[in-house]
Amino acid sequence: MDPRFESPVDRAIREAAERGEFDDLPGKGRPLPGAGTIGPVDENWWVRGYLEREGLSGEALLPPSIQLRKELDRVDATVARFPDERLVREHVDEVNSRVVDHIRNPVGPRVPIRKLDADEVVGRWRAARERLRSGAPGPAEAAPVLRQRNRRSWWARLRRRR
């Protein structure tokens, strides 16, 4: 390469290689992870590898609206570890304030999001604590059919009536 047209970055890399600063790097001489695999190449392999190495979940990469929806879906599991009702209500208030902020200024894809009813969450929290004390099965184990709703669209229901 002609040194007149060498960028400063290329020059710094060339000089470091000449000094031998890259000679004892870990993984030298080994193939890149994922190189030579059969099938489509995942362009986000490095992100997935980082998340695995650090033991992180991929939820931090999701849009804010989906993160909030996931938090709303698992609110019962979150409040289950709280020792008293005051903490449950504080958590619900904090989540509801974020829901209101999102409704005012939506970011990301549109997903159905609504505020939580603190009394309903506290009622489910109390029921779960009573089940733990008595050893009775939870509603998910006792009647899984009751938790499922009719998931067909309004158009499919309308067409079926005809």
- pLDDT, one tens digit per residue, over 20-38 is 998 888 888 887 766 666 6
User: Are 53 and 79 in a shared domain?
Assistant: no
Domain for residue 162, yes or no? no
Higher-scoring residue by pLDDT: 143, 101: 101
Domain for residue 146, yes or no? no
User: Are 80 and 20 in a shared domain?
Assistant: no
47: helix, coil or strand? helix
User: Are 77 and 134 in a shared domain?
Assistant: yes
Answer yes or no: is pLDDT of 150 > 60.
no
Q: Has this prediction a pTM greater than 0.75?
A: no
The reported pLDDT for the residue numbered 60 is: 80
Distances (CA, A) of 139 to 70, 122, 132, 142, 144: 20, 16, 12, 5, 7
Answer yes or no: is pLDDT of 145 > 90.
no
User: Are 73 and 49 in a shared domain?
Assistant: no
**Residue 22 lies in domain:** 3-34+45-58
